[in-house]
Chain A
Amino acid sequence: NAGVTQTPKFRVLKTGQSMTLLCAQDMNHEYMYWYRQDPGMGLRLIHYSVGEGTTAKGEVPDGYNVSRLKKQNFLLGLESAAPSQTSVYFCAHKESLAQETQYFGPGTRLLVL
């Protein structure tokens, strides 16, 4: 599983509800990423982190927040879910800036009704 787990695997939300997706890696890597995958659109970067205590916006950050309080965990929050956030969410990590290969989790499928 590339040293990364994602929780939950699947979730159904109603519009306006909130939830947190958890990504946990056991490889002591510095960089972590949250992507969303939608049909025919590849992967789009939501937020990322270059180390414990840091976060930064990616390509599509609106409606999401993140935190990296511990090096091994990267949390993605949806404060008020919208149907447009129905997607598959992937977490990824990599060792450093120089080590460019990313390791992906198995994904979380989210359906917002």
Chain B
Amino acid sequence: GNSVTQMEGPVTLSEEAFLTINCTYTATGYPSLFWYVQYPGEGLQLLLKATKADDKGSNKGFEATYRKETTSFHLEKGSVQVSDSAVYFCALSDRANAGKSTFGDGTTLTVKP
């Protein structure tokens, strides 16, 4: 079956530091890949997505590139802010499997001033 593996957290960074959160996946078909973000006490919301190999998703300074050869979708941001503190989930969506999504375990990011 499909699976998503995220780098374990928690991750603590100082403001303006560079962020990388690793994500790799296993899928039988050609899934779409997503990063969702969850702020305290809220549901998940879409941060960015990529639907095919070599696509780059970007939003709010975050980027991730769909790498089919390494089955990866690592999240990066050049300069984090305190407001980026949240839990980040990598996920895949499989249209061949009724569009069901598989989520990673989440990575908690804390950014200190």
Residues in chain A within 8 A of chain B (CB atoms): 2, 31, 33, 40-43, 45, 48, 50, 56, 58, 90, 92, 94, 97-98, 100-107
Contact = CB atoms under 8 A, between A and B. Distances in A.
Given A90-B43, A106-B42, A100 B103 contact: no
Contacts of B78: none
Contacts of B46: 101-103
A90 B38 CA distance: 12
B100 interface: yes
A41 B41 CA distance: 17
B49 A101 contact: yes
Interface string B81-111: 0000000010001010011110111100000
Contact of B95 (A42, A58, A92, A98): A98
A50 B95 CA distance: 12
Nearest to A99: B99
B45 A48 contact: no
Given A40-B105, A45-B100, A50-B98, A100 B32 contact: yes
Which bucket holds chain B's interface residue count? 20 to 34
Given A42-B105, A97-B95, 19 more contacts: A42-B106, A48-B98, A48-B100, A50-B98, A50-B99, A56-B98, A92-B43, A92-B44, A97-B98, A100-B32, A100-B51, A101-B34, A101-B46, A102-B44, A102-B46, A102-B93, A104-B44, A104-B45, A107-B43
Contacts of A92: 43-44
A104 B41 CA distance: 12
7 contacts: A2-B43, A40-B105, A45-B100, A100-B93, A104-B45, A105-B43, A107-B42
Contacts of B45: 2, 104
Nearest to A107: B43
Shortest Cβ-Cβ A-B pairs, 6 listed = A104-B43, A100-B93, A42-B103, A42-B105, A43-B103, A104-B44
A52 to B, nearest CB: 16
